[in-house]
Structure 1
């Protein structure tokens, strides 16, 4: 074999609302098992509003087919089926083309993103400064204009990114999912 023949398996799973944690646990185990198969070159996972796109690369079609036909994979797919809204959707690509192509997922309308972001940030921008106030009173140098704004902004950003936004977007996932009108607009 003169040249490495890379074959890519693209797996799309739309996860039922509220089942994301169970799916992610299943996914970690599946990735570990797949990595033990001959010719496995690695995996990338992209998550977008309840949809997971897993990109698995194998040295060749024979190695990929070995994984696809394995009893372990069949058992894993059977196990995850109750967590999926649309079943196991797979696609095979030859070569490295998929490595550099963007996600085909259509983002929610910007006005919807703005509404959700406002819904999350407004309460935090009112609450977080109040929570920091006792510390600013005790340590006046920390309550200065620059230091206090850095601490407050950092607190809000971390809370939004790691705590609130994932939960709120999961809660509003059906509303954020682009409508057929949004898809038509995106394709133009």
Structure 2
């Protein structure tokens, strides 16, 4: 086996592209692939495109003869300028992963991006607030019958455990299905 084969390094680049910018991104992608192919040690590139929930994801797998040559490409002024140019088209920035072996098996990320945290917070609040008001009232008869269970620490443990179990196993799945359309990324959210 040659030294080149034994030192092959793989760079995986993932980009989530805003829905209304895919044609511009594809044009940019052709330019960066051509530029990378001129770098010393470049062995080739593969591109996989996937599309979920109005988000186009591109996974590019580049192979170089050594980690040093790969790092030279990553740190190059040409790449820096091209990445700066494409950043406004991306949802999540330039995501890099390096594998120091000659073969790299991967599965493109197909999972949809999570909803914005503020939306998650709103749904969680809508689920927990009624439970935090209702659950203590439901436990009051038992706390009156068993005074030690009604103490500060035991009662809070019982109430908190009840709320957590109800949220995780019953109400949050229902709320998530109910608000699914609102929680999903929309084309409007992709706009800069």
After TM superposition, the score normalised by the length of structure 1 is 0.54
Q: Which residue of 2 aligns with 1:91?
A: 97
Q: Structure 2 unaligned segments of length 5 or more: list them.
A: 113-183, 187-192
Q: Structure 1 unaligned segments of length 5 or more: list them.
A: 109-172, 176-188
1:52 corresponds to 2:42: no
Q: Which residue of 2 aligns with 1:42?
A: 44
Q: Which residue of 1 aligns with 2:84?
A: 78
Superposed displacement of residue 174, structure 1: 4.4
Q: Which residue of 1 aligns with 2:3?
A: 3
SS at match of 1:37: coil
SS at match of 1:97: coil
SS at match of 1:96: coil
After TM superposition, the score normalised by the length of structure 2 is 0.53
1:84-119 Cα shifts (integer Å, max 9, x gaps): 000000010011231xx24142378xxxxxxxxxxx
1:3-57 Cα shifts (integer Å, max 9, x gaps): 2210001000000011000000000000000000000000000001101000000
Q: Which residue of 2 aligns with 1:117?
A: none
Of the three residues 19, 24, 27, the one matched with 2:26 is: 24
